[in-house]
Amino acid sequence: MRRLGVLGWPVAHSRSPVMHNAALAALGLRDWTYQRLPLPPELFAETVRALPGAGFVGANVTIPHKRAALALADAASPAARAIGAANTLSFRDGAISAENTDAPGLLAALPWSPEGRTALVLGAGGSARAAAWALREAGADVAVLNRTASRAEALAAELGVRFAETAGPADLLVHCTSVGLDTETFKDLPVAVEVIERSACVVDLVYRAGGDTALIATARRAGREVVDGLEVLVHQGALSLELWTGTDAPLEVMRAAARQGRPPPPP
């Protein structure tokens, strides 16, 4: 059995297992399986090093392990190094290699190229770093805004993007904070409803079971284009799966499973 999984703490809410298992089934990879791997930070390094011996060929990495994953790896892609975080580990020939598919996954989920467009990234954590880097690489004019302003300022200086003290409308508004994981509201965010309503496209990395986040619902009501967290999850997951299997990922199957939260019925 070839094993894959998602390492996180917490990880119970993750749709990755259902999405990847549906993809593996659709690809006819019957001896592959993907599982949740709940793992507290203090056990991260020793557990990851033991995974290849237990049959694992790769793993996704989520909160709060993305920086630790990069630090642990024997080799890392230029993107993972530049972002300072990895969401995908591959175990091959006794070595651990790190990649970041959050960045290209976000770009792939957008309805249009961000080149020459303005982007406001909310947050300064791991996913905000990946988003700001990806959008800058794709030619957008990027600004970063965060509750703790000093973190956004440092991130902006490091990546060569703008630091924003207040939120104004942008072509792309990309929400990368963890607000919404517990509260399902964006009221904690320093963003007025008018800013959301006047941004051409609103991206929310946060996703929730059973419908839109409040941020996506507000943007949708205003007739804005929206990209929700499940769409971003599908694209980053597809890129990870392609790295592990060397096969094109079945995007539609992954999207359907991620959205339904359960495997598709047998054909």
Instruction: State which residue has the least CB distance to ligand NDP.
Output: 125
Instruction: Indicate the residue among 124 and 167 with the shorter CB distance to ligand NDP.
Output: 124
Catalytic site residue from 15, 65, 66, 117: 66
Minimum CB–partner distance for residue 150 and ligand NDP (Å): 9
- The secondary structure of 10-48 as a DSSP string is S-TT--HHHHHHHHHHHTT-TTEEEEEEE--GGGHHHHH
CA geometry: angle at 151 spanning 37 and 189, to 5°? 80
* Residue 148 amino acid letter: T
For the question of residue 187 being annotated catalytic, the response is: no
Minimum CB–partner distance for residue 178 and ligand NDP (Å): 4
* Gap between the Cα atoms of 206 and 213, Å rounded: 8
Instruction: Indicate the residue among 124 and 135 with the shorter CB distance to ligand NDP.
Output: 124
- The secondary structure of 46-80 as a DSSP string is HHHHHTGGGTEEEEEE-TT-HHHHHHH-SEE-HHH
Q: How many CB atoms lie within 10 A of CB 155?
A: 22
CA geometry: angle at 83 spanning 68 and 69, to 5°? 15
Residue 238: what are its φ and ψ, rounded to 5°? -60, -40
Burial of 149 (0-12, 13-18, 19+ CB in 10 A): middle
- Residues constituting the chain: 267
Binding site for ligand NDP (CB under 6 A): 63, 102, 123-128, 146-148, 151, 176-179, 181, 188-189, 205-207, 229, 232-233, 236
Q: Are 65 and 8 in contact (CB under 8 A)?
A: yes
* Gap between the Cα atoms of 27 and 248, Å rounded: 9
User: Angle between the 102-109 and 229-245 helix axes, to the nearest 10 degrees?
Assistant: 130
Instruction: Indicate the residue among 108 and 200 with the shorter CB distance to ligand NDP.
Output: 108
Catalytic machinery residues: 66
